[in-house]
Amino acid sequence: MTDAITITDLVVERGRRRVLHGLSCAIPRGLVTGLLGPSGSGKTTLLRAIVGVQVVRGGTVTVLGEPAGSASLRHRIGYMTQAPSVYTDLTVRENARYFAALHGRPATEADEAVDAVGLAGARGQLVGTLSGGQRNRASLACAIVGRPDLLVLDEPTVGLDPVLRADLWATFHEMAGRGTTLLVSSHVMDEAGRCDRLLLIREGRLVADDTPDAIRAATAQHDLEAAFLELIREGARA
């Protein structure tokens, strides 16, 4: 299996504080990789380095065979930030169609993206009048509309009810089945089990990089939250 992303010795400082401390990992193509860790552990910073919008102090980040931030990657990566990046004075459908046009995609694909995030019933509604969770999903529709090779999603399921969350995770796996690589951050450990692979980070260092089952086996913990705690304890003992 080839890797979509390779990160070597990545060091990032933000506001004079070291946030990522020489992090190295590889993210395989065509799978859903979860980036899990407590609030402030450096998840968003790592995602920013991957999409090429973060100044890095050291190390390398290679994405789809190119250095992160290369112009050639712009149409190949979809990025959903934590703050919804949509126009509040346009409808859901207009937003999705606008982003589709930027990627040279037809309006039909924009409408499919709106359906995929469960917003078909609100497609004609102004984004400014949507609930927070709906607005997040409108933002997600705009991120997936270009049919990117790599989709980087920063906490895409925050504020969603369990049914919608399950639907969205099913959508992520369908996309992976069609060859898209997904990197999805979350600090909700019950979402970890839905991923093909997991990166667990804490205080800017990688604590684990494996499948959920391998992490369970290595820690003799079925519950991934307990497994995460066990890995932290092991790290402290070492």
For binding to ligand ATP (CB under 6 A), which residues are involved?
Answer: 14-15, 17, 19, 37, 39-45, 187
Q: Which residue has the tokens 């402290």?
A: 236
For ligand ATP, give the closer residue by CB, 90 or 158: 158
**Shortest CB 92 distance to ligand ATP, Å:** 25
For ligand ATP, give the closer residue by CB, 103 or 187: 187
For ligand ATP, give the closer residue by CB, 148 or 204: 204
Phi–psi pair at 65, nearest 5 degrees: 85, 0
Residue 171 structure tokens: 């959508």
**Shortest CB 83 distance to ligand ATP, Å:** 11
**Shortest CB 1 distance to ligand ATP, Å:** 27
**Shortest CB 59 distance to ligand ATP, Å:** 16
**Shortest CB 213 distance to ligand ATP, Å:** 24
For ligand ATP, give the closer residue by CB, 147 or 165: 165
| Bridge partner list, 201 | 206
For ligand ATP, give the closer residue by CB, 95 or 157: 157
Residue 229 structure tokens: 């705690």
**Shortest CB 182 distance to ligand ATP, Å:** 17
Buried b / exposed e over 196-223, threshold 16 CB at 10 Å, is: bbbbbbbbbebbbbeebeebbeebebee
- How many residues are present in the chain? 238
Buried b / exposed e over 60-95, threshold 16 CB at 10 Å, is: ebbbbeeebbeeebeeebbbbbbebebeeebbbbbb
Are 202 and 41 spatial neighbours (Cβ–Cβ below 8 Å)? yes
For ligand ATP, give the closer residue by CB, 37 or 52: 37
| Residue with nearest beta carbon to ligand ATP | 15
Burial class (CB in 10 A: 0-12, 13-18, 19+), 233: exposed
